[in-house]
A and B are shown apart, each in its own frame.
Chain A
Amino acid sequence: MKGSFKKVAALTLCLTMGASTGVSLAACTKKDNVIVDGKTINIRMVEAGNGVEWAYVLADEFERVYANEGYQVNILEPSSDMSGSVALTDMAMGTEETGIDLYITGGIKADELGVDGSYANGTALAEDIRELVYNQPAIGYDGVEESVKISDKISVEQASYSVDSHGAMYGFQYNNTTGGLAVNKKKLDQYGLELPKTTNELWACVEAIKLGANGVKGSAETKNYPFTYVSGSNGYVVQALQTWLAQYDYQESQRFWSMQETAADGTKTDMLTNGYEVFNTLAVEEMLTLAHQYMDIRIATNGSTTHSLDTAQSHLIQENNGYQPSAVFMFNGSWMYNEVKLNFNKDLLQNITFINMPVISALGTRLMGSDTSYGLDDAKCDEILSYIVGMVDENKTIAEMITAVQSEFSVTLSEDVVKEIARARGLNYTRGIEQIAVINKNAAAKEPAALFLRMMASDDFAQTWLETANSAPLYSKNLDMTNVTNEFVRAAVEICTNDYAECFTGPRSTSGLRKKLGLNSTMFSLITHIPSEVYKTYGEGKNVNSIFEEDGSKSTSKGMEIYRTAAKAMQEREYEHCMGQWSKWLTEHGLG
């Protein structure tokens, strides 16, 4: 009886759970407070680093301008989750179900919104905004159309990220950001150092801080280190590496990260089919050498590999008091101000500035070095490289730069060389380009939503964006910086609005292919693996600190040799591993 009773109890419990499961499966989703009347734009937006205040300011202006037409803006509660696949699944439900007209979101590739998207089921999820928005002029806060079309206010490269394989444009970009170096200028000044423009100059700063300069003692005594890092899969470090690789050879960087070869006619083939030797290039060797150099934990605050983002940022921002860990540089992004403004007082934040990634010095050698017609030594190459970079930052023209170099160094550089350097400096690794506004397919308030986006492209909104989102606007470079009092924001905006600024981003398709191949070098683990490789290369039992402090002298040549040797070893190893994985995959699929 007891046994059968237990069975009855178990069965009842299971049935109850089963019934509840059924109820859950049938549970209807919560309806939000949407107003579907064709005049109210229902917006679902992501709450990200730039905050949401700008949206409400814009909404107020929009409603004021279109009061006669009765257009309203209904911003539903912003959520930090409303991006990527979450936004896509919402869009896939359709506007009839959700009532949403406009998504302000991010992390979505253009093809995902179009007919080829995995959520799309053959029909695009969004409205094509080429005629609705891009080929129209922006609309100011006075309701007057601007004199130029929106498509003329954005570079072709930037806009291309919103264009899918069929040439349709679904995403309206609104953010302009870049990765770079956050610098504590106050600490840097103590060593008598200038903001570095090339990686050699950055390394000179690292040495000065590590060993001491200008009457200030070295890191061991001051506890002030060149760098501070964040633990875990360190995206900031990877954006630095992506930038350096792109500076050295843009085409190569696109191949490397996307693992795709792009033919002259624009068609892409992935490396599974053409066996492209992604790790076997000089560009990658140069990038890995820099990676080994800068990811050396001895130039970072102790415990860097275990720091949270907050801790790492505090090392950068807090003043050096001689006993608490402190740093001068941190790989970060133009959005950093929004991350830290809550945690630190304004006085401390005024010490922080932002610089574009120093240009990889190997570029100077490649363009002007002993193997070229200019035949210059490495030091001269770097000096000229730095000089040109400075002029790029001042928005000088190519002709002006050529003239200036001729005058200063008695070297006549070709236009191509100067353009390539200018491009390298202007390359802005951006994730902001992935942040888009999307008009839902068949949205009831499609027309008002399009007008809303056109207002977002205006010079008036650019000012709003600058002052409320603390970020560079995408559609204007003529900005009134009077109200921008923070040094960091000012510097970041100037970089993004530079005449030579060119956005690029790491192709997201890599991760799928890498997973397919089971590649272990995703580059995210560099910061934990590299130090052990450097020490392996240097040899067992030696004092690895001597890269910096051998015989009390600043011996960097030995260090460079070690970094390059370790980088080459890693490159060879990853190359072998890659080729092995590819041939295994080909064999498994009957292609090899």
Chain B
Amino acid sequence: MSSEIKKKKFGYSKFEKMNFPFIYLMIAFPIIQFLVFWVYVNASSIALSFQTAQGEFTFRNISAVFKAFNTVDSYGLNFGESLKHSLIIWGISHLIVFPISIITTYILQRQIFGHYVWRVCYIIPSLMGSIIWTTLIKYIVAYDGPVVTLLLQAGADLPEMVRHSGLLASEKTALPTVIAVSTIMGLVGNSAVLTGAFSRVPDEIFESAKLDGAGFWRECFQIAIPCVWSTLVMMMTFSLCSIFTSDVNVFLYSNGTGEPGMTTVGFHLYIITYRISMSGGARTSYGYPAALGLVLTCMTLPVVLIGRWLLDKLQDAVEL
């Protein structure tokens, strides 16, 4: 590259330089906030993984995490079980429910009868918030609620614990119930991002496709979805980041205990922070929870990077 072009590309005009004070003043606070609450916090978390409470260097915390994979840790939780549950939840919600929700979002966007009303209905759980929603669900799946009543009338062989205390009381039914609720909520498209992406697909494309004789499903899979593919890739990338931290409000469903058999990694991490906060954080041992986070990050990173690489390859293949 010639020095002239280089100068044009990288130099700043006098006019541009006049804006620098304004620009840097504007971005100062967000940058400092980021440096403190993201960079420092995450770095501190990494550092704490290798520290004893006295501040000495140690690998003890990391080895405690690996031990906790198949036993109960110092917080009384089985990390291996939590990991297994999280993977199941992620698998169901992102490999089964998400593809279905793409189709349901698409059909809603095609303005099926009553689409406006359905959309408002589907967003209601998110608007109500987790606290209210989970409390209501707890009543609905209680021993005297409509779900257990209907199941018994249909002749289902429910554990006695369920008949006495509801679907969330038995190890066999608690986690499946919670997964079922989140599946029902996820099946219908209420993602604002995806809806917005579909709304930007031009009508002309469908008209010309129709002229070419494309049927309904062909419009869906060969026109609409490729048009929003970049958005889907972005959503799938974000979903990869949550592969080990999928949470379905276990804390609320289980009154903060994770029982019976409902713990997830997200719950595990939250309950640790919650207990630390309840204790006031005074001179507590942050090493183990920090090491837990570090190990999880190291597990997630390769998955995310490989996943992103695969998705980028797919994106290139699909892009118009």
Determine direct contact between A and B, CB below 8 Å: yes
Q: Within the complex, what minimum Cβ distance (angstroms) separates B227 from chain A?
A: 26
Taking the complex as formed, is A555 at the interface, i.e. its CB lies under 8 A from any CB of chain B?
no
Q: Within the complex, what minimum Cβ distance (angstroms) separates A543 from chain B?
A: 11
Report Cα–Cα, A474/B285, bound state, in Å.
31
The answer to whether B47 touches A24 (Cβ under 8 A) is: yes
The answer to whether B280 touches A297 (Cβ under 8 A) is: no
The answer to whether B283 touches A303 (Cβ under 8 A) is: no
Instruction: List B residues 147-180 near A (Cβ within 8 Å).
Output: 159-161, 164-166, 168-169, 171
The segment from A84-92, A369-377, A488-496 found at the interface with B is: A84-92
Instruction: List B residues 27-73 near A (Cβ within 8 Å).
Output: 35, 39-40, 42-44, 46-48, 50-55, 57, 71-72
The answer to whether B283 touches A298 (Cβ under 8 A) is: no
The answer to whether A80 touches B161 (Cβ under 8 A) is: no
Report Cα–Cα, A22/B285, bound state, in Å.
19
The answer to whether A231 touches B255 (Cβ under 8 A) is: yes
The answer to whether B260 touches A86 (Cβ under 8 A) is: no
Q: Contacts A21-B47, A80-B280, A89-B54 given; indicate if A305 touches B161 (C-beta within 8 A).
A: yes
The segment from A12-20, A131-139, A356-364, A462-470 found at the interface with B is: A12-20
The answer to whether A297 touches B164 (Cβ under 8 A) is: yes
Report Cα–Cα, A233/B50, bound state, in Å.
30
The answer to whether B256 touches A308 (Cβ under 8 A) is: yes
The answer to whether B43 touches A18 (Cβ under 8 A) is: yes
Indicate the size class of the contact surface on chain A. Answer: 35 or more
Cβ-neighbour of B255 out of A79, A297, A306 (below 8 A)? A306
Report Cα–Cα, A16/B32, bound state, in Å.
13
Report Cα–Cα, A92/B283, bound state, in Å.
12
Set of chain A residues within 8 Å of B55, measured between Cβ atoms: 25, 29
Q: Contacts A80-B279, A82-B282, A515-B71 given; indicate if A306 touches B166 (C-beta within 8 A).
A: yes
Set of chain A residues within 8 Å of B51, measured between Cβ atoms: 25
Instruction: List B residues 233-255 near A (Cβ within 8 Å).
Output: 254-255
The answer to whether A79 touches B279 (Cβ under 8 A) is: yes
Contact with B along A79-109 (1 / 0, CB 8 A): 1111001100110110000000000000000
Interface of B is mostly: loop
Taking the complex as formed, is B11 at the interface, i.e. its CB lies under 8 A from any CB of chain A?
no
The answer to whether A89 touches B165 (Cβ under 8 A) is: no
Using CB atoms, name the residue of chain B closest to A528. Answer: B260
The answer to whether A303 touches B166 (Cβ under 8 A) is: yes
Taking the complex as formed, is B142 at the interface, i.e. its CB lies under 8 A from any CB of chain A?
yes
Using CB atoms, name the residue of chain B closest to A94. Answer: B54
Taking the complex as formed, is B281 at the interface, i.e. its CB lies under 8 A from any CB of chain A?
yes
Report Cα–Cα, A85/B286, bound state, in Å.
12
Set of chain B residues within 8 Å of A79, measured between Cβ atoms: 279-280, 282-283
Report Cα–Cα, A423/B56, bound state, in Å.
49
Set of chain A residues within 8 Å of B168, measured between Cβ atoms: 306
The answer to whether A20 touches B44 (Cβ under 8 A) is: yes
Report Cα–Cα, A21/B281, bound state, in Å.
20
Report Cα–Cα, A436/B100, bound state, in Å.
60
Q: Contacts A302-B165, A305-B165 given; indicate if A232 touches B257 (C-beta within 8 A).
A: yes
Report Cα–Cα, A498/B76, bound state, in Å.
35
Report Cα–Cα, A307/B259, bound state, in Å.
11
Taking the complex as formed, is A518 at the interface, i.e. its CB lies under 8 A from any CB of chain B?
yes
Taking the complex as formed, is B278 at the interface, i.e. its CB lies under 8 A from any CB of chain A?
yes
The answer to whether B48 touches A80 (Cβ under 8 A) is: no
The answer to whether B44 touches A21 (Cβ under 8 A) is: yes
Using CB atoms, name the residue of chain B closest to A311. Answer: B255
Instruction: List A residues 277-335 near B (Cβ within 8 Å).
Output: 297-298, 302-308, 311
The answer to whether B166 touches A531 (Cβ under 8 A) is: no
Taking the complex as formed, is B284 at the interface, i.e. its CB lies under 8 A from any CB of chain A?
yes
Report Cα–Cα, A22/B50, bound state, in Å.
12
The answer to whether B47 touches A16 (Cβ under 8 A) is: no
The answer to whether A24 touches B259 (Cβ under 8 A) is: no
Taking the complex as formed, is B143 at the interface, i.e. its CB lies under 8 A from any CB of chain A?
yes
Q: Within the complex, what minimum Cβ distance (angstroms) separates B114 from chain A?
A: 37
Instruction: List A residues 337-388 near B (Cβ within 8 Å).
Output: none
Given A22-B47, A305-B164, A531-B161: 14 more A-B contacts, CB < 8 Å: A17-B46, A79-B280, A81-B283, A82-B282, A86-B279, A86-B282, A86-B283, A231-B255, A297-B160, A302-B144, A304-B165, A306-B166, A515-B72, A532-B161
Question: Which residues of A are at the interface with B, using a C-beta cutoff of 8 A?
Answer: 13, 16-25, 29, 77, 79-82, 85-86, 89-90, 92-93, 231-233, 297-298, 302-308, 311, 515, 518, 528, 531-532, 535, 544
Question: Which residues of B are at the interface with A, using a C-beta cutoff of 8 A?
Answer: 35, 39-40, 42-44, 46-48, 50-55, 57, 71-72, 76, 142-144, 159-161, 164-166, 168-169, 171, 254-257, 259-260, 278-285
- Please, could you name 24 A-B residue pairs with CB atoms under 8 Å apart, sorted by A? A19-B43, A20-B44, A22-B47, A25-B50, A80-B280, A81-B280, A82-B282, A89-B52, A89-B283, A90-B53, A90-B283, A231-B254, A233-B257, A297-B161, A297-B164, A302-B143, A302-B165, A303-B142, A303-B143, A305-B165, A306-B168, A306-B169, A515-B71, A531-B160
